[in-house]
Amino acid sequence: MTTTHTYEAVIVGAGGAGLRAAIEASGRVHTAVISKLYPTRSHTGAAQGGMCAALGNVEEDSPEWHTFDTVKGGDYLVDQPAAEIMCQEAIDRVIELEHWGFPFNRTPEGRIDQRRFGGHTRNHGEAPVRRACYAADRTGHMILQTLYQQCINRDVRFFNEFYLLDLLMADGRCAGIVAYELATGEIHVFRAKAVLFATGGYGRIFKITSNAHALTGDGPALCLRRGIPLQDMEMYQFHPTGIYKLGILISEAVRGEGGILLNGEGERFMERYAPTIKDLAPRDMVSRAIYQEIKEGRGVDGKDFVHLDVRHLPRDVIEKKIPDVTEFARIYLGVEPTTEPVPIQPTAHYAMGGIPTDVHGQVVVGPEETPVPGLYAAGECACVSVHGANRLGTNSLLDIVVFGRRGGMAMAEFAEAAEEPMLPDEPERETVAMLRGLLQGPNLEFAADIRSQLQEQMFDLCGVVRSEEGLRRLQDVLRGLHERMQLVGVQDRGRLFNTELMEAVELGFLLDIADTVAAGALDRDESRGGHYREDHPLRDDDHWLKHSLAYREADGSIRLEFKDVKLGRYVPMERKY
């Protein structure tokens, strides 16, 4: 049984980017939002520390400084015109959120309070600047809530617990999507003039990750399968402070409020790596520093973790400004942060790469950036690229509201002018074949075994530090896992809430995404931002100041193309902090 729906705009994903796009589009065209979770379960809600905008509420600041920090933080792989737009529009977006009721922490004068965050500096790197607007350490939660509230107010149509299973293309344009209703097992075809993917990240390719179970790269993987390349997939961010073994995020805000990192010898080691801004260096540098300390035997008790220390902070700062992460340490580690240092290790956190778009969320392919009519993307699944090779903390929440809004506007404008698309014949055919394959699969392999091996190998061989030898080994492993995936089946053959079936589908997405990350990482024989090759430790602007585009060939192999970085006023220079 298939149900066909017709909308002008269909948004897939109900995190910050999807909801912000929906607010824009739903006022103009007939809009539906498809989400595999209830919107308030989206992972935007896990973001903690803040959202940067050069309001200058507590000290002098300017959008131009913010742009510079973003470009430098991204190790110059950032498209500078896009970064400029983001940092300029940041102020309006923060004020807009406030007008929608966002409960910002306040200064004594009643203005939006701001705090320090990694890589955000005064006057091109002089010293840390207070730029991050925040609500305690639940800023993402409050953004998600505020945007969802606005959607309720606007009566936005949601299809909750619907999984995206296919992207429909016809006559060179996007024609809609195919989705699976979890509650009933029914297939739904959504015909749409414009589709916007806001499906989030894909941290679940890694073992230690801050990402939710739901973050399996569904949107990017389907683009890849439909011939659309994925950009800069080797650029993945490892956040320095994940809870040891679990990967749960401990916000950079902890260091913004004065927390410091200590190695096994009790030394504040970041002073050696970033003498000026120390513990508030960008995430890629701090993660590598931790890796280096551990490698040289200065982990705590000889193990693979270091300490995050807040014992010297006033009690009310801990309880009022970072209460949630304090609780995480208590619950998951049994550690009392006011009296004990917290064991942390780098955790897979954020995908800088993704579906290539222009600054209007329009998906573009190839070095010439040819638009795919009717297809848009925003948020972590997209690559604008404002984060380049390493995202600065808080810039993801900014990205989702700036480019979510822009994508929503652009898709509405397109839908207002466009003709109804023709659907391909039997649009659900491939989806049904895929599900049938899993439902009838030989069931000789556990999906969970394949997933855990994928995650372990990706984390070990394609993590904070990479090498040619390791990446070649990884590609062999991935080939083997793809083969074993053919032997996966499901035990649950029912229609109702068949999450086992959906998890198997998601594993397929993860494997496809992992291929592109590994291929990009192997090819890029330099080190830049979040991508560090121990066999090529230096940045190589002569050969690598360019974006990678990964295509999937018919035989499943990955082919890479490249396109120029859009430079601007900031000339690449050595990245020191």
Partner 1 sequence: MSARDEPSADLPLGDVLEASDEAEWWEGPPHEPGAKPRVGPPAPGQVALTIRIRRYNPELRDKPWWDEFRVNVEPTDRLLDALHVVKWYHDGTLALRRSCGHGICGSDAMLIDGRNRLACKMLVRDVAPKVTVEPIRGLRVLKDLVVDMEPFFAGYARMLPYLINDESTSDRERLQSPEERERFDDTTKCILCAACTTSCPIFWADDEYVGPAAIVNAHRFIFDSRDRGADERLQVLSQKSGVFRCRTTFNCTEACPRGIKVTKAIQDVKRAILFDRY
Which of the residues 243 through 282 are near partner 1 (CB under 8 A)?
A: 245-246, 248
C-beta of 136 vs 461, nearer to partner 1: 136
In the bound state with partner 1, the residue whose beta carbon lies nearer, of 259 and 343, is 343
Compare residues 241 and 498 and give the one whose CB is closer to partner 1. Answer: 498
Residues 527, 533 contacting (CB under 8 angstroms): yes
**Nearest 5°: CA angle at 94, between 86 and 394?**
60
> At residue 464, what are phi and psi to the nearest 5 degrees?
-60, -40
Given 54, 83, 135, 310, the residue binding partner 1 (CB under 8 A): 135
* Range in contact with partner 1 (rule: CB under 8 A) among 73-81, 105-113, 253-261, 355-363: 105-113
Identify which of residues 86 and 142 has a Cβ nearer to partner 1 in the complex.
142
Q: Does 214 bind partner 1 (CB under 8 A)?
A: yes
> Using the rule CB under 8 A, which residue among 3, 38, 271, 296 binds partner 1?
38
Report the nearest approach of partner 1 to the CB of residue 214 (Å).
Answer: 5
What are 348's strand-pairing partners?
Answer: 209, 238
Q: Phi, psi at residue 292, to the nearest 5°?
A: -65, -45
Minimum CB separation from partner 1 for residue 36, in Å?
9
Task: Say what angle helices 395-417 and 139-153 make with each other, to 10 degrees.
Answer: 20
DSSP H or E stretch at residue 222: helix 218-225
d(CA 135, CA 320): 10
In 3D, which of 34, 60, 71 has the Cα closest to residue 528? 71
Provide, rounded to whole angstroms, the least separation between the CB of residue 160 and partner 1: 8
Question: Applying CB under 8 A, which of residues 20, 131, 141, 193 lies at the interface with partner 1?
Answer: 141
Q: Shortest Cβ distance from residue 43 to partner 1 (Å)?
A: 6
Question: Prior bond to 527 cis, omega within 30?
Answer: no
Identify which range of 32-40, 387-395, 408-416, 529-537 contacts partner 1 by CB under 8 A. Answer: 32-40
Binding mask 479-518 for partner 1 (x = CB under 8 A): ----------xxxxxxxxxxxxx-----------------
**By CB under 8 A, is residue 549 in contact with partner 1?**
no
Interface with partner 1 (CB under 8 A), residue from 19, 37, 194, 329: 37
Angle subtended by helix axes 499-523 and 218-225, to nearest 10: 70
User: Does residue 247 contact residue 208 with C-beta atoms inside 8 Å?
Assistant: yes
Closest by CA to 287, choosing from 255, 312, 331, is 255
* Complex with partner 1: residue 2 or 557, whichever CB lies closer: 2
CA angle 364, 370, 375 (to 5 degrees): 45
Choosing from 20, 116, 191, 283, the catalytic residue is 283
Residues 39-78 that bind partner 1 (CB under 8 A): 40-43, 45-46
Candidates 118-126, 148-156, 395-403, 539-547 — which segment interacts with partner 1 by CB under 8 A?
148-156
- Residues 6 or more apart from 401 whose CB is under 8 A from it? 16, 17, 20, 51, 93, 96, 97, 143, 147
- Pairwise CA distance, residues 204 & 508, whole Å: 12
Minimum CB distance to partner 1, residue 347 (Å): 12
Give the residue with the Cβ less far from partner 1, 92 or 535: 92
Residues 226-245 that bind partner 1 (CB under 8 A): 245
With CA atoms as reference, report the closest residue to 397 among 576, 42, 144, 57. Answer: 144
Interface of this chain with partner 1, residues 404 to 463, rule: CB under 8 A:
432, 435-436, 439-444, 446-448
Nearer Cβ to partner 1, position 446 or 562? 446
Q: How many whole angstroms separate alpha carbon 182 and alpha carbon 9? A: 22
- Residues that bind partner 1 (rule: CB under 8 A) add up to a total of 76
Place of tokens 């510079």: 68
Distance CA 442, CA 436 (A): 11
* Rounded least distance, CB 312 to partner 1, Å: 24
Among 92, 296, 525, 564, binds partner 1 (CB under 8 A): 92
Question: 347 with 354: CB under 8 angstroms?
Answer: no
**According to CB under 8 A, which residues from 314 to 343 bind partner 1?**
324, 327-328, 331-332, 334
User: Does the annotation mark 283 as catalytic?
Assistant: yes
Tell which positions 176-205 bind partner 1, by CB under 8 A: 183, 185, 187
CA torsion 170-176-177-181 (nearest 10°) is: -140
Candidates 17, 32, 51, 142: give the one binding partner 1 (CB under 8 A): 142
Between 28 and 245, name the residue whose CB sits nearer to partner 1.
Answer: 245
Identity at 381, one-letter amino acid code: C
**CA separation for the pair 237, 498 (Å, rounded):** 32
| β-bridge pairing 355-356 and 362-365 | unpaired
Binding status of residue 212 toward partner 1 by CB under 8 A: yes
Residue 226 or 495: the one with the smaller Cβ distance to partner 1 is 495
At its nearest, how many Å lie between partner 1 and the CB of residue 17? 17
Task: List the one residue out of 51, 324, 26 whose CA is nearest residue 148.
Answer: 26
Q: 18 and 222 in contact (C-beta within 8 Å)? A: no
Instruction: Please identify, among the stretches 87-95, 228-236, 277-285, 390-398, the one whose residues bind partner 1 according to the rule CB under 8 A.
Output: 87-95
Give the length of the chain. 577
Q: 171 — alpha (psi -120 to 50), left (phi > 0) or beta?
A: left
Residue with Cβ nearer partner 1 (108 or 172): 108
| Choice from 105, 276, 453, 467 touching partner 1 (CB under 8 A) | 105
Q: Which residues form the catalytic set?
A: 283
